[in-house]
Structure formats: C-alpha cells, structure tokens
Structure 1
Amino acid sequence: MIKVRNAEAIDALDMATLHTLSWQVAYKGIISQPLLDAIDPHDRISKWRMIVEQKHPSQIILVAEIDGVVVGLVSGADDHAHEGRYYMQALYVHPLHVGKGVGFALFNAFKDHVIKLGYRKIYCGVLQGNKSAIAFYQRQGGVLKPELLQYFKAKDGQQYPEEICFFDF
C-alpha cells in the first residue's frame, strides 16, 4: 500500500537518491549522458535536508512510501510565475516503482494540499522528449502549453527546452 506523508529531514538521503535515479532514467537520451553519469546523490542530501528544514508554510514537500521505504516525492511552491497557479517543482518516482500508482498517489495528494492552500490550478515544467512524464501529466488532465517554452540550464552549461503543463481543477 502506498502511504503519502509530509517529508522530514531524515528523508533527505532517500530524496536525494530518488532525485538522482529518476534523472538518470527519465532523462537518458534527453540530457547529456556525461552529466547524468556525474550526478551523485550525496551532493543533493544537504540540499533536500535544507529544503525540508526551511520549508515555508506555503510549500508542499511530500514523500510516498511502500512498506516504510520512500519510493517517490513531490514538491512545489507558489512562485508567482503564472499568476493564480501553484508550481509543482518536482515529481520523482523510483524507477522500479514507475507504473505502480506512486506518481498518481503523489499527484493527488499534492493537488489536495494545493486546494487547501486556496489554489485551483497547478503548473509544472517538463523537458521536451520526456514522453513518459508528458503522458502521465496528460492522464492527470494536464495541458501542454508549447507557446510558453522555457529552457532549463544544466550544470554543464547546456540548455534544454522545457514545456509548461497546466492543470485546472
């Protein structure tokens, strides 16, 4: 059974590992392989710990567990980039648990939290070529807005096109 809960600082290693594995699998063939190979989850532990420990009341950071093991995370904040829409910054599922309802559970829990904060709309960015994420978001009612194309600048200096996906509920 999938349990979704608020993230805690103790989850930082699991969150960093999920972040790394998700990128290495989902972005294979999209982001340069040397960059993906160089990602070290230990470099992300302090980042995730700080994000959780310094969480603003309007931020949402959730993890999904199966049998007490963290297998997914979702996070977001109101960044005011698209007025009236809450930003879903990350939704990562462990590659071994993709297609098992973890993403669905995380997205719905995130949506419930967003509604409690008074929002009825979400947006997120999705890298062009990330077909599985695009399909997932569309199954959740997301609509891609290619006219709002933006670019994600990676640590290697390359820029990757990212489309915006809107959700209204």
Structure 2
Amino acid sequence: MDFRDASPADAPLIAAMHVDSWRIAYAHIMDPAYLAGGIEAERLATWTQRLEHPAPGQRIIIAERDGQPMGFTCIIGGADDRWGTLVDNLHALPAARGTGLGTALLARGAQWAIEGWPQTGLFLWCYSDNLAARGFYASRGGVEVEDWDKPGPDGRTLPEKRIYWADPAILLR
C-alpha cells in the first residue's frame, strides 16, 4: 500500500471515494434520496473547498494500491483543546474493506498527530447506528466517551458518538 498527501486536484477523486463509501456504510442511516443523487455535488463542493482552503492543521492522506485509490483519511491536528486531533474522515472503498487499509490509515493519522501535537489525544465522531465502524474503532482501543446529535448533510439530525484515544500510540502497535 502506498500513501500520499492529497492536492487540490484530488477533490473529484476524494469526493467519489467518499460517495462510494457512504452509499454502502450509511445506506441504513442517511436519507436514501440524498444518497441516490444530491450527495455527489455536495461532496465535491465540500472537498474542493477543503483542499483549496484547508483548515489549520488539516492533512488528507490518500491510500493507493498499484496506483489505484483505495481510501483516504482527513485529519485536523490539534482540533480540540480537550480531545486533541480530529479524524474527520476515514473511508475505505468497498473493495478494500477487510484488507487492513482502515487500520493503516488510522495509524498514519495517529503517527502524524503524535509528531505534531504530542501529549494530546485523537478522536472522531461516528454515527451511533454505524455498528460496524464502532466495532472497528473499539477493537483498536477507541473508547466511546460522549453522545451528540449532529445535523447531517442529508438534512437529518443523527445521533453520534465521540470515540477517543487518550494515547494515539496504541494505534501504532
């Protein structure tokens, strides 16, 4: 597996991977009408904005195998004074699930967070109904520490859980 930092030219690629991932992982969570249509334009606008005008501390890593994109993660270093670095997105294409890609991307993000924001944690938000992802994070030492109802891009407000690693180094083992 090869990893590279995203550039603004990667916005369509990242948006397409995000759409493919959400259509599978969130089919039972998000509005089906949104997933069937409006998602493409919304995700492209989101990733174009994020790549052209990155937030402070933002890094987007693309994973490729044999030159083919397989997934990505977007991390915001030091995003929160209490919780540390935010894993804002972590997505593996359906063909890459079960290959260790998610674990590798999470480890890359953790390593970067440790280097740039030592002595802080790592966290992410996960839809409460995304049981597969919650199990994935728990098996990697993530602890569910908080609940929140979040307005989503599909217009719904959905319950989420904050998942936290007080010591991101656990993800490097």
- TM-score w.r.t. the length of structure 2 is 0.86
SS in 2 for 1:41: helix
Structure 1 vs Structure 2 CA RMSD? 1.8
Whole-angstrom CA distance in 2 between matches of 1:155 and 1:142? 25
Correspondence 1:58 to 2:41: no
CA displacement 1:50-84 (0-9 Å, x = unmatched) = 3123235522211111111221111121332x515
Match of 2:156 in 1: 158
Is contact 1:143–1:165 with CA below 8 Å preserved after alignment? yes
Whole-angstrom CA distance in 1 between matches of 2:101 and 2:68? 12
SS in 2 for 1:124: strand
Structure 1, gaps ≥5 residues long: none
Match of 1:121 in 2: 121
SS in 1 for 2:135: helix
Structure 2, gaps ≥5 residues long: 168-173
How many percent of aligned residue pairs carry the same amino acid? 25
Instruction: Please report how far the alpha carbon of residue 25 of structure 1 lies from its aligned counterpart in structure 2 after TM superposition.
Output: 0.6
Shift of the 30–105 alpha-carbon distance from structure 1 to 2, 3 Å rule, reads same
Instruction: Please report how far the alpha carbon of residue 6 of structure 1 lies from its aligned counterpart in structure 2 after TM superposition.
Output: 1.0
Match of 1:49 in 2: 48
Shift of the 156–46 alpha-carbon distance from structure 1 to 2, 3 Å rule, reads closer
Supply the AA of the counterpart residue of 1:55.
P
Instruction: Please report how far the alpha carbon of residue 85 of structure 1 lies from its aligned counterpart in structure 2 after TM superposition.
Output: 1.3
- Number of residues of Structure 1 aligned to a counterpart in Structure 2: 165
Supply the AA of the counterpart residue of 1:83.
R
Is contact 1:142–1:166 with CA below 8 Å preserved after alignment? yes
* Higher helix residue share: 2
Supply the AA of the counterpart residue of 2:72.
L
Match of 2:136 in 1: 136
Shift of the 57–29 alpha-carbon distance from structure 1 to 2, 3 Å rule, reads closer
Is contact 1:74–1:90 with CA below 8 Å preserved after alignment? yes
Shift of the 159–47 alpha-carbon distance from structure 1 to 2, 3 Å rule, reads closer
1:3-152 to 2 correspondence within 5 Å? 3-56=2-55, 58-77=57-76, 78-80=78-80, 83-119=82-118, 120-145=120-145, 148-152=146-150
Whole-angstrom CA distance in 2 between matches of 1:158 and 1:79? 25
Shift of the 160–43 alpha-carbon distance from structure 1 to 2, 3 Å rule, reads closer
Residues 98-107 or 116-125, more deviating: 116-125
Supply the AA of the counterpart residue of 1:121.
G
Residues 38-47 or 66-75, more deviating: 38-47
Is contact 1:76–1:87 with CA below 8 Å preserved after alignment? yes
Supply the AA of the counterpart residue of 1:131.
L
Instruction: Please report how far the alpha carbon of residue 156 of structure 1 lies from its aligned counterpart in structure 2 after TM superposition.
Output: 4.3
Residues 53-62 or 8-17, more deviating: 53-62
Is contact 1:20–1:39 with CA below 8 Å preserved after alignment? no
Whole-angstrom CA distance in 1 between matches of 2:83 and 2:34? 35
